[in-house]
């Protein structure tokens, strides 16, 4: 079966790029089913954090575009 995962938002007031603060993940030892490798949680979490950073960058770009459009009083692009 899988392992239990506990997420602790240790410092939600911390300022970081995605606004989540520092996250500590505590987990039990990985257990494997017959013939299956354990899931590489560290790689998965790193991948998810990278995706969040990319999405935050896109959100900032769209926010800037929206503000510019409002300032110039022009319609936003469809895409």
Residue 77 maps to a domain = no
**Total tally of structural domains belonging to the chain:** 1
Question: Is the pTM above the cut of 0.85?
Answer: no
Domain contains 79: no
pLDDT in tens, 24-68: 555 555 555 566 666 688 888 999 999 999 999 999 999 999 999
pLDDT tens for residues 1-22?
Answer: 444 444 444 444 444 455 555 5
Rg of the chain over all Cα atoms, to the nearest angstrom: 19
Token pair for 3: 């392992």
Would you call 25 helix, strand, or coil by DSSP? Answer: strand
Any domain includes 78: no
Domain range enclosing 42: 5-28+38-72
Backbone φ/ψ region at 37: left (φ over 0), alpha (ψ -120 to 50), beta: beta
Q: Is 58 domain-assigned?
A: yes
Q: Is position 33 within any domain?
A: no
């Amino acid at each position: 079966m899988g392992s239990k995962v506990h997420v602790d938002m240790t410092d939600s007031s911390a300022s970081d790029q995605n606004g989540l603060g520092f996250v500590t993940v505590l987990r039990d030892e990985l257990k494997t089913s017959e013939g299956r490798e354990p899931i590489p949680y560290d790689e998965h979490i790193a991948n998810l954090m990278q995706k969040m950073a990319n999405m935050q960058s896109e959100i900032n770009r769209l926010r800037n575009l929206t503000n510019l459009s409002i300032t110039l009083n022009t319609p936003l692009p469809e895409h």
